[in-house]
Amino acid sequence: MTTITKTKLKGNEVRARRKGGSVVHVLELTENGHAPSSGALCGDKPVQSRHSSMNRAGWYQMKEHIEINCPKCLKVLNAREQIK
């Protein structure tokens, strides 16, 4: 798995993981600073259902030193770096 430690994120992008999850994704925040309903760059989003063990689905923002380890988000970021 490819992991980038010094990934350049845009100003409105943050590292985040889902509640109860271990995979760190990249979220592009809305103008109000909230997580988008579309989910992470890779399209992953928390699901809240009656079958879920979580009381409330959501995202937790991670600090900048935490490595992004979602393969799909890394692929999007790598493609963006190649364009530059």
The three state secondary structure string of the chain is: CCCECCCCCCCCEEEEEECCCCCEEEEECCCCCCCCCCCCCCCCCCCCCCCCCCCCCCEEECCCCCCECCHHHHHHHHHHHHHC
Q: Is residue 55 part of a domain?
A: yes
Q: Is residue 36 part of a domain?
A: yes
The total of structural domains in the chain comes to: 1
Q: Is residue 26 part of a domain?
A: yes
Predicted TM-score of the model (pTM) = 0.78
pLDDT at residue 3, as a whole number: 47
Please give the residue range of the domain that contains residue 52: 13-83
Q: Is residue 27 part of a domain?
A: yes
Q: Is residue 39 part of a domain?
A: yes
Q: Is residue 6 part of a domain?
A: no
Q: Is residue 50 part of a domain?
A: yes
pLDDT in tens, 22-77: 999 999 998 988 888 888 999 988 776 666 555 556 888 999 999 999 999 999 99
